[in-house]
Amino acid sequence: MKRWLPLILFAVLVGFFAKGLFLNPREVPSPFIGKPAPAFTLPVVATANAYAKADFSPADMKGKVWLLNVWAPWCVSCRQEHGVLMAVAQSQSVLFVGLNWKDKDREAEQLLADHGSPYVAVPDDLSGKIGIDYGVTGTPETYVIDQAGIIRMKHIGPISPDVWKEKFEPKLKELGA
Amino acid sequence: MIPELGHFALIIALLLALTQAILPLIGAQRGNLTLMAVARPATQGQFVFVALAFACLVYSFLVNDFSVENVARNSFSQLPEVYRVTASWGSHEGSLLLWVLMLAFWSTAVSVFSRHLPDDMVARVIGVMGLISVGFLTFMLTTSNPFLRLLPAAADGRDMNPLLQDWGMIIHPPMLYMGYVGFAVAFAFAIAALISGRLDAAWARWSRPWTTVAWAFLTLGVGLGSWWAYRELGWGGWWFWDPTENASFMPWLAGTALIHSLAVTEKRGAFKAWTVLLALSAFSLSLLGTFLVRSGVLSSVHAFATDPARGAFILVFMVVVIGGSLILYAWRAPKMVTGGAFTGFSREAMLLANNVILLAAMGSVLLGTLYPLLMDALGMGKISVGPPYFNAVFVPLMAPALFLMGVGPLLRWKGDSLPDIFSRLKWALAVAAATGLLLPLTLKGFNPWASLGFFVATWITLTAFIGFRDRMKNGTRLFKLPRAFWGMQLAHLGLAWGIAGIAVVANYQEERDVRMNVGDHTTLAGYTFTFRGAVEHPGPNYRAARGTLEVSQDGKQLFVLHPEKRIYNASGMPMTEAAIHPNIFRDVYVALGEPLDEEAKTWAVRLFYKPFINWLWIGALMMVIGGFLAASDRRYRIAVKATVPAGAVTQGA
Amino acid sequence: MKSLLFSLLLALAGPVWAGEAVSIGEDPVIEQRLVKLGEELRCLVCQNESLAGSHAELAEDLRREIRAQMKAGKNDQEVIEYLTTRYGDFVLYRPPFKPVTYLLWLGPLLFLGIGGGVWYVTLKKRRALENTPVDEQQLAAAAQLLDGKK
């Protein structure tokens, strides 16, 4: 038995390595899943869809399933994502809120005016503090928040049409949006 | 044309490696001398063709052939010539070719310096090394070909990773790979011995010098890596417990255990199964390191660009090589006869204790490195295991081994008397304890970690001198002592120096982050730093802001430092190039942070005073020299005539 | 020549603005705490760097935030809690001691324990062994083989 021990240990390690090849060490799960979305109140850059207040607070969305999309005008992959979000917003009734993160050059308003806005509201997180409160490490990141204001899912990186279909649509369905 | 030549040379090398692997192994099994004789020419031929391929790659880099994908991705027309050469092993593909070149080099060395070994042993050793070559060449040709063309050719390259554009990187990878691959020789010897069933003292004697040389190279590689990180990463640290560093440290720990356990196997014929297992482990851990760094399963500062196909290939290769060798081990291990008796207080017992501790330390490093992966694979969440964990675990674990290091070499084989040894060492113990306790008090007050470091360093140094004194009692002159003895003591003293350096720099370094306008001054550790501004300073392939800091002490100007903040042209990557003024007692280390105003007059500046840091590298160098010295000992050289009395071997160092 | 003149000018001009350089965070005690704590924390967006060493933007933001909280009188534990509620245990380089990390923290002790056991058992066996002359003979044979063959 003793002589087989190294082989057994090695076999166990190989099992983990094989599994590890399919995992991404950079993808960190959010500790907020199942917890209430942190509260904040921020002025908005742009609004649409009958959202008429001058500032935004997650409490305003109570009773609805909505998506908090953290983006920034200086973020290149957010541009790719923008087109996908536009297509989704036009074909389905999904409530996107776009947290404008650390927009030091104040470009968000112009950008949304030029290319259209998928968002119902665009709260303006100039200092980046609200992003940090949500555990954002970089843009884009998207949170799915349910009727009771609980965060149910987080996606890191741009949303592609495939990601939308495979990850978001089932979740939204499950939540009854 | 040249890249195609290189590609072609690799294919021929693969065919030769296949020949080198298969024919001699069959020959050894059947006792067919003709087939066994193929081993040497095939190995040397393989080396020639791998070297040719390597030369082709270096040439492609030197002439900026951006129609080669590897060159286009890792070089740049403005890159200085010396870095164009080193860029050829800066990428995943290129470094793999370097690895294969080293392997072919070691195989050739074995084929040349093995005339005194039995033919079937040589055939098996070279055959096993050929199998490893086959694996790596296939890996390179199928997933990581360094000669792939890019059509259409790129107008210019994307530049070498700026982090690698440094002095330390010129020699660090070749030395590290010499070490990694060197353990392949010990591995091949172990496999050959397992196959033939001839696991005796002779086997240990043969593989010992090879292992020691490989260990010395690995020590040099790890040391250079640490030196590079210290100078280039700009954080002033010298060891980060990053997975890449751990990947080189684990084989080092296993290799260190191996060279000690080989000593017992050679001298006393004991620990055979254990030594074989260590020989298999040292190389297996080198392979594991390759897998960890290139497969993307862990995130690390210096990992290569990763690709799951590559990871899968290395994993399969690992299963074949390591799994195969462990099956062979399990099958053959019971046949190994054990050596003689010894007591709990003998050199054997101390060497075994050293092995146990080194392996526990190695296991802990492995556990810490892999734990995030284990948890992730089991779906238990993501955690980080970083320097605080490793420091907390590693230091207490190694401390007893360092203490035993003082005692072990002074003990006799088979058994010694504790009261005897105690009376011989009591003064050394008292002096070391006093140094450990009192030295920190004269510096900055009581500090247990500094005490531990000083105690251990003094203890090892004093006991090493006692060792020399004992050996000279019978009238042998200092320089007539065997090289193996000198080598061991030098390596042990080097470790003591390194520990002394670590104890000082870890506990007494000083650091300040300041905001400096032109003309501002600040003091740190008695030095006054005056900032004379930063000016635009174009480099060959980067733009830099070059700061000027005058450093003075007691009103007398000592030297001027020029730290730089660089932006590399091709990648746009920012780099901090620290300026260091070294001497034997301290480094003054200055790094430029960010400009803090629009005109770039005010800068964030990070200043370090690093006492005794250079003792670390000096210590590592002493260990390396010790290793080479020990490996060149008279009794490993072949010229010894048959007239040597048969018993002489048992009385060596 | 020009650069010499320039540096001369600078040297002359120096004393005019010369002043004691200010620590980045103004309060050296807090800076010290920040560096110490920062070494225990991971820069989340870097490959594998500590928060203290990183130049990444998020790392700078987080350092600023930690500095502000320390100034507001929060202790290290509260700062760590602030970060782990947002980023999870991933941010900690020293994993907390809890059931899923028992093996991580106790593993080294376990290894040493097993090693100690092996050491003890081996010694017991060895002491019991007769010092067989076979061993010496074998060593001699090995020496013959090694040194004797041309």
The verdict on C105 touching A (C-beta cutoff 8 Å) is: no
- Are C67 and C110 part of one and the same domain? no
Residue C80 shares a structural domain with residue C124: no
Judged by CB atoms closer than 8 Å, whether chains meet at A6 and B318 is answered as no
Chain C hits for A133, CB-CB cut-off 8 Å, are 86
- Is B121 within 8 Å of B198 (Cβ atoms)? yes
Q: Could you give the dihedral angle defined by the CA atoms of residues B177, B180, B184 and B190, in that order, rounded to the nearest 10 degrees? A: 160
pLDDT 10s digits, A17-37: 998 888 877 777 888 999 999
**C-alpha span between B266 and C142 (Å, rounded):** 9
Same domain, C72 and C118: no
Judged by a CB distance cut-off of 8 A, whether residue B328 touches chain A is no
Report how far residue B515's alpha carbon sits from residue C23's, in angstroms, rounded to the nearest whole number: 6
Closest Cα in chain C, distance from residue A27 (Å): 10
B38: confidence class by pLDDT, cuts 50, 70, 90: very high
Residue of chain C whose Cα is closest to the Cα of A127? C61
Best of B292, B348, B369, B389 to substitute, by most chain C Cβ atoms within 10 angstroms, is: B389
Kindly tell me if the per-residue pLDDT of C9 is higher than 50.
no
Distance CA B499, CA B561 (A): 29
Chain A residues lying within 8 Å of B334, measured CB to CB: 3
- The verdict on C30 and C82 lying in the same domain is yes
Is C24 in contact with B513 (CB distance < 8 Å)?
Answer: yes
Query: Which residues in chain A are closer than 8 Å to C66, comparing Cβ atoms?
Result: none
C118–A contact, CB cutoff 8 A: no
Number of domains making up chain A: 1
Same domain? C31 vs C52: yes
Q: Which domain holds residue A81?
A: 35-175
- Residue A78 inside a domain? The answer is yes
Domain final position from C91, C112, C136: C91
CB pair distance less than 8 Å for B291 and A17: yes
Position B606, amino acid: R
Structure confidence at residue B337 (pLDDT): 64
| % of chain B residues with pLDDT over 70 | 95
Compute the distance between CA of residue B246 and CA of residue A31 in angstroms, rounded to an integer. 29
Phi, psi for A104 (deg, rounded to 5)? -70, -30
Average pLDDT, chain A: 88
Residues belonging to chain C:
150
Q: Taking CA B153 as the corner, what is the angle to CA B147 and CA B158, rounded to the nearest 5 degrees?
A: 80
Band (B205; pLDDT cuts 50, 70, 90): confident
Structure tokens at B614: 């250079």
What are the tokens at B617?
């590298």
| Segment among A77-81, B300-304, B436-440, B463-467 with least mean pLDDT | B300-304
Whole-angstrom Cα distance, residue B79 to residue B337? 59
Domain boundary residue, one of C91, C108, C138: C91
Q: What is the C-alpha separation between A174 and B459, in angstroms, rounded?
A: 68
Same domain, C105 and C55: no
What is the CATH number that goes with domain B1-165?
Answer: 1.20.120
Same domain for C106 and C67? no
Q: CA nearest B189: which of B123, B243, B244?
A: B123
Return the closest-CA partner of residue A12 out of B323, B364, B296: B323
**What are the tokens at B423?**
């009376």
Chain B residue with Cα closest to C120: B344
Instruction: Give the pair of three-digit tokens for residue B98.
Output: 């370097």
CATH code of residue C54: 1.10.8.640
> Is B515 within 8 Å of C116 when comparing Cβ atoms?
no
Same domain for C120 and C73: no
Same domain as C113, residue C87? no
Give chain A positions within 8 Å (CB) of B281.
6
**φ, ψ of residue B473 in degrees (nearest 5):** -60, -40
**Contact call for B330 and A29, based on CB within 8 A:** no
Candidate from A29, A133, A134 with C-beta closest to C88: A29
Does residue B304 register a pLDDT over 70? no
Q: What residues 245-304 of chain B have any CB closer than 8 A to a CB of chain A?
A: 273, 277, 280-281, 284, 291, 295-299
Average pLDDT, integer, range B361-382: 92
pLDDT surpasses 80 at C131: no
Contact A31 C62 (CB under 8 A): no
Residue B247 in contact with residue B222, Cβ under 8 Å?
Answer: no
The residue segments making up the domain with residue C124 are 99-148
pLDDT on residue B360: 96
The answer to whether the Cβ–Cβ distance between B516 and C21 falls below 8 Å is: yes
* Residue A155 counted as domain residue: yes
Q: Is the pLDDT of residue A171 over 60?
A: yes
User: SS3 helix, strand, coil % of chain C, rounded to 5?
Assistant: 70, 5, 25
Count of domains forming chain C: 2
What residue has token string 């495939």? Answer: A162
pLDDT bracket for residue C13 (50, 70, 90)? very low
Say if A10 falls within a structural domain: no
The answer to whether residue C131 sits within a structural domain is yes
Q: Give me the residue from C24, C128, C149 closest to B513, CB to CB.
A: C24
Question: Do residues A86 and A118 make contact, with C-beta atoms less than 8 angstroms apart?
Answer: yes
Task: Tell me, letter by letter, the H, E, C secondary structure of B482-544.
Answer: CHHHHHHHHHHHHHHHHHHHHHHHHHHCEEEEEEECCCCEEEECCEEEEEEEEEEEECCCEEE
Nearest-neighbour CA in chain B from C102: distance (Å):
11
Scanning the structure block, which residue is given the tokens 């500090």?
Answer: B447
Give dist(CA B500, CA B510) in Å, integer.
17
CA of B599 vs chain C CAs: smallest distance (Å): 16
pLDDT digits (tens, 9 = 90+) for B330-368: 998 877 666 677 888 889 899 999 999 999 999 999 999
In this complex, the residue of C45, C65, C86 whose CB is nearest that of residue A135 is C86
Cβ-contact A128, C61 below 8 angstroms: yes
Which site among C47, C67, C87 would you substitute to test the A interface, given the most A Cβ atoms closer than 10 Å to its Cβ?
Answer: C87
Selection from A167, C95, C27, C57 nearest residue B512 by Cα: C27
Q: Are B470 and B410 in contact (CB under 8 A)?
A: yes
Comparing CA positions, the residue from A64, A40, A27, A43 lying closest to residue A163 is A27
Give domain status of residue A30, yes or no: no
Q: Look up the CATH number of the domain holding residue A94.
A: 3.40.30.10
Closest alpha carbon to A139 in A99, A167, A169: A99
Closest approach of A26 to chain B, Cα-based (Å) = 7
Chain pair B-C, CB pairs under 8 angstroms: 231
Q: Are residues C74 and C32 in the same domain?
A: yes
Separation in Å, CA A25 to CA B100, B107, B141, C22: 29, 37, 28, 40
Which of C50, C51, C123 should we substitute to test contact with B (largest number of B Cβ atoms within 10 Å)?
C123
Could you report the per-residue pLDDT of B560-579, keeping only the tens digit for each?
A: 999 999 999 888 888 889 99
What confidence score (pLDDT) does residue A108 get? 87
ipTM of this predicted complex?
Answer: 0.88
Residue among B213, B262, B207, B338 at smallest CA distance from C146: B207
Of C91, C117, C133, which residue is a domain's last?
C91
B237 inside 8 A of chain C by CB? yes
Which chain C residues are closer than 8 Å to B641 by Cβ?
147
Closest approach of A89 to chain B, Cα-based (Å): 33
Task: Specify whether C113 is located in the same domain as C55.
Answer: no
- Domain membership of residue A62 (yes or no) is yes
Asked if residue A6 is part of any domain, the answer here is no
Phi and psi (nearest 5°) for C52? -70, -35
Report chain A residues whose CB lies below 8 A from the CB of B319.
Answer: 14
Mutation for B interface: A9, A17, A156, most B CBs within 10 A: A17
Residue of C nearest to B524 (CA): C21
In this structure, the number of other CB atoms found within 10 A of the CB of residue C8 comes to: 10
State the nearest Cα–Cα gap between B7 and chain C, in angstroms.
Answer: 33
Task: Inform me whether the C-beta atom of residue A129 falls under 8 Å from chain C C-beta atoms.
Answer: yes
Tokens read off for A34: 């199942």
Task: Provide the pLDDT for residue B393.
Answer: 95
pLDDT tens profile B115-174: 888 888 999 999 999 999 999 999 999 998 999 998 888 888 888 888 888 887 888 999
Give the distance, in angstroms, between the CA of residue B494 and the centroid of all CA atoms in the same chain.
Answer: 15
One domain for residues C73 and C32 = yes
